[in-house]
């Protein structure tokens, strides 16, 4: 029997907007389903659970992984993906979000949305009548975290009790989702960031409440030594998220001490500590932005050194691949026909 067939977890028709809305069992189920779908893909076993369906992919910000993961996932599942970029539809410009949501819901079986305000994805879910999946907003990036947890499970074997340290911009979408998602599955989550970039009180409250239910632990600190000691996973993200590009100088000044480098990895005292990054990453000068930052501020690397990015500790490309398997799981589990 497959994970889907013996499943008692009911996610049919649900949207996937934020991990705060899901239980430990539901998150673990999505990861198990992703493991099974990954094994099926590797063995060339068809898994066309969305046969004949149509999926809208709305992107108001650029994307490599999320767009490709949704597109390939749709194709493997037998659905047609329709990419709608920021200048392709009237959404919010000449037509309200509500009206757009209703129209899309009349034609599509599911909608992915990447954009700025989190309220927009909530409105889409409220009015479209079909499952809506958050492909990143300014507040959360929940499909990323499922891929991260699958990657951790593949290496460590479990999630409960894993010491996961996020270093960098502690109040960005990835940090928020890791904090809440980690608490939901009983991890020991540590957000290591300067005080000015601490997560909001609401976010910390949500995580603390979740951790109480799962015996998870939460630490928010600006103290690097304390945070990384004994870490199983060191995770970082860009210092400047999409839409905040004018803040490079301030962030570099705040976050340079939080760069993931050999010194930080040694401080973990864990020979097999994993390094994770949602990507894209500034670890060399092979990007246009990397070159511009180098000219302006003299840095050759930002949030992670190339040495660590390329090292045996790094599982960033497993993480990237796992975006596709986990997104497939989310689409399959929430699909109204399953």
Residue tagged active-site, from 278, 283, 319, 325: 278
Backbone angles phi, psi at 325, to 5 degrees: -65, -40
As a 3-state breakdown, the chain gives helix, strand, coil percent values, each rounded to 5, of 45, 15, 40
Contacting ligand NVA within 263-292 (CB under 6 A): 278
Instruction: Tell whether residue 65 is a contact of ligand CP (CB under 6 A).
Output: yes
Q: Residue 64: which of ligand NVA, ligand CP, none does it interact with, CB under 5 to 8 A by kind?
A: ligand CP
Active site residue 190: no
Residue 238 CB, shortest distance to ligand NVA, in Å, is 5
User: For residue 280, is the peptide bond before it cis, meaning its omega torsion is within 30 degrees of 0?
Assistant: yes
100 versus 173: smaller Cβ distance to ligand CP: 173
The yes-or-no answer on residue 306 being catalytic is no
Of 111 and 218, nearer to ligand CP (C-beta) is: 111
Nearest 10 degrees: Cα torsion 288, 250, 308, 32:
-90
Give 21's DSSP letter.
Answer: G
Whole-angstrom Cα distance, residue 247 to residue 104?
Answer: 35
Decide if residue 183 touches ligand CP (CB under 6 A): no
Question: According to CB under 6 A, which residues from 268 to 297 bind ligand CP?
Answer: 278-279
Q: Are the C-beta atoms of 222 and 193 separated by less than 8 Å?
A: yes
278 as an active site residue: the answer is yes
Rounded-to-integer distance, Cα 101 and Cα 91, Å: 9
Name the one range near ligand NVA by CB under 6 A: 83-91, 98-106, 149-157, 235-243: 235-243
Catalytic residues: 114, 141, 144, 237, 278, 323
Binding site for ligand CP (CB under 6 A): 63-66, 136, 144, 278-279
């Amino acid at each position: 029997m497959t994970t889907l067939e013996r499943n008692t977890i009911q996610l049919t028709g649900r949207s996937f907007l934020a991990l705060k809305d899901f239980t430990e069992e539901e998150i673990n189920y999505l990861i198990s389903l992703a493991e099974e779908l990954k094994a099926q893909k590797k063995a060339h076993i068809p898994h066309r659970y969305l046969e004949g369906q149509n999926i809208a992919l709305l992107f108001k910000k650029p994307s490599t992984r999320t767009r490709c993961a949704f597109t390939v996932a749709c194709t493997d599942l037998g659905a047609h993906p329709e990419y709608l970029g920021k200048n392709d539809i009237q959404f919010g410009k000449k037509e309200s979000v509500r009206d757009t949501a209703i129209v899309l819901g009349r034609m599509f079986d599911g909608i992915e949305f990447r954009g700025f305000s989190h309220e927009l994805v909530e409105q889409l879910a409220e009015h479209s009548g079909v499952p809506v999946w958050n492909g990143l907003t300014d507040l959360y990036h929940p499909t990323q975290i499922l891929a991260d947890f699958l990657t951790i499970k593949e290496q460590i074997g479990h999630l409960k009790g894993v010491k996961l340290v996020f270093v960098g911009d502690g109040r960005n979408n990835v940090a928020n989702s890791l904090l809440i998602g980690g608490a939901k599955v009983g991890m020991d989550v540590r957000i290591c960031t300067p005080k000015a970039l601490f997560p909001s009180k609401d976010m910390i409250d949500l995580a603390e409440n979740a951790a109480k239910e799962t015996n998870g632990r939460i630490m928010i600190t600006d103290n690097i030594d304390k945070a990384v000691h004994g870490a199983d996973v060191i995770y970082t993200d860009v210092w400047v998220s999409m839409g905040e590009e004018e803040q490079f100088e301030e962030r570099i000044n705040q976050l340079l001490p939080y760069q993931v480098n050999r010194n930080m990895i040694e401080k973990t005292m864990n020979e097999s500590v994993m390094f994770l990054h949602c990507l894209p990453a500034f670890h060399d000068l092979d990007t246009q932005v990397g070159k511009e930052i180098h000219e302006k501020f003299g840095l050759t690397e930002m949030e992670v050194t190339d040495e660590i990015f390329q090292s045996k500790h790094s599982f960033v490309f497993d993480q990237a691949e796992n975006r596709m398997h986990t997104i497939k799981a989310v689409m399959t589990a929430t699909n109204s026909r399953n």
